[in-house]
Structure 1
Amino acid sequence: MDDNTWSSMVNKNRNFSEGLGKPLIAVETNFKSFTSFYGLVRFTNFGSCLACIGLILGFETVYLSSSATYRKIMFSGSHPLVDPFWSTEVTRFIHCGLEADRSDKIKYLCSNREAIDNLWVCWKKPEINCGKCPKCIRTYVALLTNDIIDFKFREKPEPGDIQKVEIHSEEELSFFEEFLIHAKNYKKVELSKVLSKKILRYKLKQILIEIVDTYLPRAQAWRLKRRSDEDHMVDINLEPRYSDRNVLEHVRGKKNLSLNETKVGTIYR
C-alpha cells in the first residue's frame, strides 16, 4: 500500500470512527515485510502482531474479533484459547464474536448505514470493494442471505461469480457451509444449490487427494520392488584404466552380464 492510499484509508476510517464518538489511532508496522523476509506465514502469527500493538499502546482491554464461530473453530494466528495468554497485569485480551458467523455479522452491520457504507473487505483494492475477488464474493453471498442488494461494489457481482470461486481450505469450507445453512433457513433455493455443489466438489476433491496420498506411494513401492527382481537393472562395472589383461579377462568371465551395458566413463586411481 503506497503512502497516498494509506493516508486515504486513514482519513476514511477516522471520519467513520469520529462519527461513532471514538478516536482512531492509526498504527503502521513492518509485520508484512518482516514475515515475508523470513518466510513466515502471516496466517499463523497475525494474532501476535495485534497483541503487540495492544501491549505497546497500553490499553486496559483489547478485543480481538473472531473469524470463526463456536460451531467450527479453526487453527489460526488468532484463537479463543490462545489470545487470552497475551494478557499481562496491565492489558487484558478478549477473543470475541464467536456467537455470530459472517452472515449474522453482516446483518448486524446493516442496522448502521454508515457502518455498512464504510465496510472494506477487498484485498485487491484498498479504497473500494472490487466485487470480483474471493473475499468480495464471500461478502456478496452473505449479503444475499440477508436480502441486501444495495451494497457498493465497483463491479457488481453476479450469481454466476459464486461458481467461479474455488474453496482452498477447511477454513473457507466452513464459511460456505455457514452460508448454506442461512440460504436453506431463508429458503434461497437457487443459492442453496450453488453452494451445495461447491461444497460437494471440494469434499470430493479432498477424498481423491487422500486416496492418491494413501495408495499411490504403495503402488510406487510395489513397482520398484518388481523392477528390482528383473534382470535389466543397471549394472555398474569398475574397471582399472591400466589393467593386467589376464586379471581383466578373469573378472569378465566371473561376472553376470546384464542385458544392457552403458559406459559412463573412467575412474582414475
Structure 2
Amino acid sequence: MKITEIKLVQEKECQRLSGYCGDFLLWYEFPLSMDITLKADAFVAASLIPAMATKQNIELADDIPVSAQLLSNLSKLQDIFSRWEAQLGVKLHKIDILGGQRVEALPVNDHVISFFSGGVDGTYTFLKNKDDIDLLLFSKGIDMQLDNVEQFEHAFEKNKVFLDAFEKPLVPIATNVRFFGHSLGLKWTQCFGGGLASIALAASVKTCYIASGFTYGKTIQEGSNYITDPLWSNGTTHIVHDGAEANRLEKIAFLATEPTAIALIRVCWQDKGYNCGQCEKCLRTMTNLRLLGLSTPNFPPLTDELVKNKVSKLRLYSVHDVDFLQENLALAVEKQDKVMVKALKKISRHYYVKHHIKGLLKQLS
C-alpha cells in the first residue's frame, strides 16, 4: 500500500492535510490556528490494519518524514493484532513499512487534548482529567456522517456551551479516516484505535486521551483498547487510553455528579436527531438511566411499556454488547426491577441460543 502525495493546503477557513493510502484519498481538516506539519505518521497509523488485512507492505517515499519510534511501535502492534484476528473477525498478515525519512521530533502543538462529542465515555474522561486537558476535538466524520452539517452544528453548540463553563475550548475538525477501512470492507471497530490516534498524530499534539469503552476486567480485542492504544505514540504525541477503571454504569453515575453533564448525553450514531431513542445504544443508555434512577432531557423516561415493547425486542450481535447487558442485568436484579430483569434475560437467551446454533452449524459444515 503506497502512501503518496502527502500535502498540506491552507484554505480559507481551514487547513487540510491529505495523502493517498493506496487508492484512498485520506484527509484531515484542522482550524488555521493549529500548527500542522507535513509528515507521514498519521497516514501510516491509519493504514496499518487496512494494510495487514489486504497483505500489503506500506511504502513511503524516501524523503517523507516519519517517526522512528512509531515505526518501532508498529512492529509490536502487529504482533498483538495478528494474535487477535479471530476476535477482530479479519485475517491479518504481518507486513513491512518501507521507505520514509526516519526522524525524531518534538510536539508542534504543546497541547493535551481529548476527543469530545457529548458521549458517556468522552465526558467521563474529560471530567476526570479536566485540569490536565487544554482543548477538546469534536470531529465531523467520526460520530456522524460528513454531510450531516445541521446535526453536527447542533451537537457542537451544545457541547461548546457545556465546555465553556469549564473554560475549555472545543475545536471542530473533520476527517474521512472512518471511511478508509470501510472502503476495503473493514469495520470501524477493527480500525478505530489507529484511526483516532492518526488524528492526534496529524495534529502533532503533546498528549491525546482516547476514552475507553470497556474496563480492565475485559481484554477487549478490537481496534482500541488499553493494551494497544499507547503503542500509537510516536515520541511527539503520547496516546493515553483512559477510563478503563469504570464500567458504563459507574461512568453515568459519575456524570450525574455534574448536572450539566448528565443533561448533555448524546450516544446515538444513527444520525436521526440528537438521540434516536430506538437503537441498541440509545436503549442501553436509557436502561442505565432507569436503573440508576436518573433522567435527562435527551431521552424519554424508560417506562415499563417501553421496556416490554422496545428493550425486550433488542437483538445483540456482539459479545461486547452482551457485556453491557450483563452489567445492566446485575443491577436490575439488585434493584428488584422485575420488568427489566425479564426483558434483559429474554435478550440474553436469544443471543446465546443464536450463538450456540451458529457454532454448531460451523462444526458440522
Q: TM-score range by the shorter chain?
A: 0.7 to 0.9
Matches within 5 A, 1:40-119: 40-119=186-265
Larger proportion of helix: 1
Q: Determine which structure has more spread, i.e. the larger CA radius of gyration.
A: 1
1:165 counterpart = 2:311: no
| Structure 1 stretch displaced more, 104-113 or 25-34 | 25-34
Q: CA deviation at 1:151?
A: 4.3
What is the identity, as a one-letter code, of the residue corresponding to 1:62? C
CA distance in 1, matches of 2:338, 2:300: 27
Deviations 1:133-188 (A, max 9, x none): 11110101111220114442269662121111101111111110111122223333
TM-score by length of 1: 0.74
Change (3 A) 1:186 1:151: farther
3-state secondary structure, aligned to 1:27: strand
1:196 counterpart = 2:342: no
Identity within the alignment, %: 30
Matches within 5 A, 1:115-154: 115-125=261-271, 127-153=273-299
CA distance in 1, matches of 2:272, 2:165: 21
CA distance in 2, matches of 1:121, 1:91: 28
3-state secondary structure, aligned to 1:49: helix
Change (3 A) 1:174 1:107: same
3-state secondary structure, aligned to 1:172: helix
Deviations 1:55-110 (A, max 9, x none): 22232221111111122232111011100101122222111211211111111111
Unaligned runs of at least 5 residues, structure 1: 218-269
| Structure 1 stretch displaced more, 157-166 or 79-88 | 157-166
Q: Provide the alpha-carbon RMSD of the alignment.
A: 2.0
The residue number in structure 2 matching 1:262 is none
CA distance in 2, matches of 1:116, 1:199: 28
TM-score by length of 2: 0.55
CA distance in 1, matches of 2:267, 2:278: 11
CA distance in 1, matches of 2:221, 2:262: 28
Could you tell me whether the CA contact under 8 Å between 1:63 and 1:96 is conserved in 2? yes
CA distance in 1, matches of 2:295, 2:160: 26
Could you tell me whether the CA contact under 8 Å between 1:68 and 1:101 is conserved in 2? yes
3-state secondary structure, aligned to 1:26: strand
Could you tell me whether the CA contact under 8 Å between 2:209 and 2:240 is conserved in 1? yes
Q: CA deviation at 1:126?
A: 5.9
Q: CA deviation at 1:127?
A: 4.3
What is the identity, as a one-letter code, of the residue corresponding to 2:289? L
Deviations 1:184-215 (A, max 9, x none): 23333332232122212211221122112212
Change (3 A) 1:40 1:207: closer
Deviations 1:215-266 (A, max 9, x none): 2x3xxxxxxxxxxxxxxxxxxxxxxxxxxxxxxxxxxxxxxxxxxxxxxxxx
The residue number in structure 1 matching 2:325 is 176
Could you tell me whether the CA contact under 8 Å between 1:130 and 1:155 is conserved in 2? no
CA distance in 1, matches of 2:153, 2:353: 45
Unaligned runs of at least 5 residues, structure 2: 1-144
Could you tell me whether the CA contact under 8 Å between 1:131 and 1:156 is conserved in 2? no
